[in-house]
Amino acid sequence: MNFEKTTEKDSNYNHLEKMSVHELLLNINNEDQKVANAVLEAIPMIEKFVEELVLKLKKGGRLFYIGAGTSGRLGILDASECPPTFGVSHDVVIGLIAGGDTAIRKAVENAEDDKEQAWKDLNQYQITENDSVVGIAASGTTPYVIGGIEQATKFGCTTACITCNEKSPLSTVATYPIEVIVGPEFVTGSSRMKAGTAQKMVLNMISTSAMIQLGRIKGNKMVDMQLSNDKLVNRGTRMLMEELQIEESEAKQLLEKYKGVRNALNNYKK
């Protein structure tokens, strides 16, 4: 199989240490502008996966992200933001990282090199065929991710991967290989940069579009968000004022009574 890691190719820039701060920032930004167009190219495959994912979620399935290092942390970030944003349970979208929770903050030596561990981690959740698993690895060669996706595919789960290399080993084992080819990094091999940005964008697209399809947004508002701080209570109040054409005091009373924007909208009587 013809496989070349563009994520490891030499940077398009040299002598970085001789650049001024302005030059560094401008050149990093120039590279970052390439990311959105690379994601655009991957939309057809993202679309296919999300359509299948939504069907599985409607059957009671869950969405798992598995990754190592930066990729694993990005998956955990997206998973952790779904309950407060969309009001879903914490066990609907789950992020797993090689090395366990310790690896969220500190690198765990050799954790990503165990090809069997991801499947063991997934099975801690009594995985079923209704579940979907996304493997996140910029290189497309991380053993932890490859092993997990390979086993999940064989088991009957819907699987996808997010990688920034074309025709990687990871892509060959995922049902829906999402390849976002962003090219060489500004700092050679530093895939926390453009590759990480691309992965974050794709994860946003997957979870947000799926939750909208599941009815978790009304109009363009997060009516199922958890009212966990003053900012969100104020946002919910404004939503009710706008939607119901009522005063702030009445909106606050409704929100306090029904503990959520959707409940308040559904129970409002003029």
Catalytically active residues, by annotation: 81, 112
Task: Give CA angle at 189 (48, 111), nearest 5°.
Answer: 75
As a whole number of angstroms, the longest Cα–Cα distance in the chain is 68
b/e map 48-67, b = 16+ CB within 10 Å:
ebbebbbebbeeebbbbbbb
The answer to whether 76 touches 235, Cβ cutoff 8 Å, is no
The answer to whether 220 touches 57, Cβ cutoff 8 Å, is no
CA distances, 38 to each of 41, 166, 175, 216 (Å):
5, 12, 20, 28
The answer to whether 3 touches 167, Cβ cutoff 8 Å, is yes
Residues in the chain: 270
Task: Give CA angle at 167 (197, 66), nearest 5°.
Answer: 50
135 vs 150: CA distance, rounded Å:
10
Q: In the sheet where 93-97 sits, what is the strand order?
A: 93-97, 63-67, 132-136, 158-163, 176-179
